[in-house]
Amino acid sequence: MSKRSIVNDLYKSRKRVCTAPSSAINETSEFNDGLNGTSFSAAEIPSDTKVSLLHLKELFPLERFEGRLPVVIVKHQLYSLINDRTAVDKELNTLKLANEIKLFKLGAELDDYCIVFTKEYLDHVIKVMSELSISKNICNKFVNTVIKKYTDVCINKDTLMNEFNFTDSEITQLVKASVLTVRDVGNWWVALPNAGIFMKCFLRGRKAIVTMIRKCKYREILQTELEQRKWPKVCKLGLQYHMHEVIGADLIKCIQTTSGLLLRLKDS
């Protein structure tokens, strides 16, 4: 059994959709993807990557952050669900170019990205800018240009000033709102406000799950046994969220045994 054994029945549901007899499929047919009753026409059945994103979205404990964050998915979590990383990266790029998702650099220490659905990012930016008393004109300009028209993860001064008509003082306000963070001179990362809150929880949770497995005999544990362990309350993102994270980051090796899926900590 592959790493997908840690996923629930949503893939079984999608498989039934994709293997429907061709004679029964037309562009107006509708199918259920197994996620909250969402329906799609035959012409728009979501990719494995989109389905996986929706599954990981369900694992994010949004209520624990009290409106300070949107749902944040770490890119490599997808690799815990789909073995073909090239296909994942290609499909993510398609979703990014269609402006369905935004990708953000995941901190200076980690060479990876996090993913936020564009609509949720837009709502989050408007909320944060309002709380910081950033002018509505600047907020609307950022929404209508950078969010709705721009898909790269970083942006330069020439694009901001000449293409999107931001002034130096307005760029300063965008940095204040943490929707831009400095990459180098004249270049900024398009950023997620309050990302520091996520990073603190993310790193704390990763340390917790790795420590739990490291303390086990042979540094390995059955998935079912790990799920029964008491999870630290300070680790807000939850065990299931971090299980996908450490597997996708290749910190944990998954081994199928007669007793179930064994999670083994890899040598550092």
Alpha-carbon gap, residue 242 to 206, rounded angstroms: 6
Say which range, 22-36, 88-102, 228-242, has the weakest mean pLDDT. Answer: 22-36
Exposure string of 80-89, with b = 16+ CB inside 10 Å and e = fewer, is bbbeeeeebe
Render pLDDT for 101-155 as a digit per residue (tens, 0 to 9).
999 998 766 678 999 999 999 999 999 999 999 999 999 999 999 999 999 999 9
| 225 closest CA partner among 216, 234, 233 | 216
CB 179 within 8 A of CB 142: yes
Q: What was the pLDDT predicted at 47?
A: 84
Q: What was the pLDDT predicted at 30?
A: 43
Alpha-carbon gap, residue 258 to 207, rounded angstroms: 28
Strands 252-257 and 260-265 turn out to be antiparallel
Render pLDDT for 71-95 as a digit per residue (tens, 0 to 9).
999 999 999 999 999 999 999 999 9
Q: What was the pLDDT predicted at 97?
A: 96
For the cut 70, the answer to whether the pLDDT of residue 33 exceeds it is no
Sorted by sequence, the CB contacts under 8 Å of residue 190 that are 6+ apart come out as: 102, 104, 146, 150, 152, 153, 154, 155, 179, 180
68 burial level (CB within 10 Å; 0-12, 13-18, 19+): middle
For the cut 70, the answer to whether the pLDDT of residue 22 exceeds it is no
Alpha-carbon gap, residue 242 to 214, rounded angstroms: 15
Q: What is the mean pLDDT of residues 9-18?
A: 39
The mean pLDDT value of the chain amounts to 86
For the cut 70, the answer to whether the pLDDT of residue 41 exceeds it is no
- Amino acid making up residue 26: N
Q: What was the pLDDT predicted at 248?
A: 95
Alpha-carbon gap, residue 60 to 78, rounded angstroms: 14
Q: What is the mean pLDDT of residues 14-22?
A: 35
Structure confidence at residue 233 as a pLDDT band (50, 70, 90): confident
- Amino acid making up residue 79: Y
| 196 closest CA partner among 69, 75, 73 | 69
Q: At what angle do helices 48-59 and 85-97 cross, to 10 degrees?
A: 80
CB 146 within 8 A of CB 155: yes
